Structure 1
Amino acid sequence: MNKTLFFLIFQCCFLVSGAQIIKLDTLLKIITPNNVKIQYAGNIGMFSSGIGYTSPNKRWEGNLLYGYVPAKYAVEPIHSATIKGKFSSLLREYADGFEIKWLQIGLWYNYSFGDPYFFKLPSYYDSGYYYFSTAVNVGLTVGSEFRYKRWGLYYELGTTEKRTINYVKNLKSVGFNEIWNIGLGAIYYIK
């Protein structure tokens, strides 16, 4: 009786764990990113890297990136996280695995970690001293991507909400060319 009960419990555990393996396998296929990327500049860190997901029609892309600015270029090292979305309106596939996304339009949200950055104005500042959060940045980009088989290179020309606001409020002192930045990156496509 005890052996039979033990055997039944063991079989039930095996069946349940087998079902979880199948579900886990399906889950892993879904959460595995389509690509990994590295980027230089572009207002999300001097160096950034992360993962990307692409829609089945290859027109929509979502990215999650970690950015870093070394202490040599800031008062202290800056660490940030970015969520970026892109839409490819002009996509052309050519022979032998060569593809160009001629026009990509993107929107990103970036959060900088650390004491120098705040989401809500600290009490030691007078009301209105800063009219925006120093921890959160929102940016718009326009760019292109060139892909050959599993490798891609891209560029993004972009600006942030803070630069745009400063330009609009200070037309005489902030030049239009001063609100723009460029980011350059490389992508490896996993699937």
Structure 2
Amino acid sequence: MIFFLQSGKVFSQFPEILIPKDVIVQHAGSIGYFSVGAGYRLFKNKRGNLDFNYGFVPENKGGTLHIISAKFVYRPFEIKLKDWAKLYPLNPGAFVSYHYGKEFDFYWDKSQYDEGYYWWSSAIRPHISFSNEIKLDSKKLFGSGKIKSLSIYSEFNTNDLYMVSYVLNTKDLSLTDIFKLGIGIRLGF
């Protein structure tokens, strides 16, 4: 109890690096019909991000799914549009999503399927992604406030299973069949 009463000490001793710098809301894009998450800025130039998201797909949108993901994105190119706006036109990234629930497994049931019959996991999907982003400096646009930046982004991604399916079925699948689109908002603090 004394530990919680000294809350000033608790928060002052909490490592700054563990506090997220961004809040993310995303629609679609292989991590849920809607997802929310927290982001951390990486590197001195702050062009890298590590995000952790929780996504949900409701029953009426394809079946109830719960998805968690860890995403890495790097912004190699920055175009200054105004003193309060920047464009990041092509941002490569990678992420891993995990679908959890009793119907998803890391491995297929060996009593039902021969070893190697299915090479993929039904629970884990590694992805590659490409995104673009417009970042607005909230302080310059709106004055004071806790929100430092507002970003709007779009992200195209595909995963290992989609890529293999495409390579094995190029006559029946196109690239538009295997890439998924997500759009999101990132608030920086």
Normalised by the length of structure 1, the TM-score is 0.82
Mapped partners of 1:124, 1:184: distance in 2:
41
- Residues of 1 paired with 2:13 and 2:136: CA distance? 28
In structure 1, how many angstroms separate the alpha carbons of the residues matched to 2:45 and 2:122?
A: 36
Aligned AA for 1:106? G
1:157 is matched by which residue type in structure 2? F
Give per-residue Cα distances to partners, 1:38-86, cap 9 Å, x unaligned: 00111111111101111231221100000110011234x1001100000
Give the gaps of 5 or more residues in structure 2. Answer: 138-148
Larger Rg: 1
Deviations 1:123-146 (A, max 9, x none): 343124422001000111111110
Gapped regions of structure 1 (runs ≥ 5): 1-12
Moved over 3 A (4+): 93-96
The answer to whether the aligner puts 1:168 opposite 2:167 as a matched pair is yes
Mapped to 1, the partners of 2:62 and 2:83 lie a distance apart of 44
Query: Size of the alignment, in residue pairs?
Result: 173
The Cα of 1:167 is off from its aligned counterpart by 0.7
Contact 1:39 1:183 in 2 (8 A): yes
Measured after TM superposition, the shift of residue 115 of structure 1 is: 1.2
Partner of 2:22: 35
SS in 2 for 1:89: coil
1:1-58 alpha-carbon deviations (Å, 9 max, x no partner): xxxxxxxxxxxx9xxx79x92x842534222111101001111111111011112312
TM-score, normalised on structure 2?
Answer: 0.83
Alignment partners' CA distance in 2, 1:26 and 1:100? 36
**Paired residue for 1:59?**
47
Measured in 1, the distance between the counterparts of 2:183 and 2:81 equals 23
**Deviation by residue 1:86-141 (Cα, 9 ceiling, x = unmatched):** 01110133433212112211100000000111101123431244220010001111
Partner Cα distance (1:51, 1:182) in 2: 20
Contact 1:91-1:103 within 8 A present in 2 as well: no
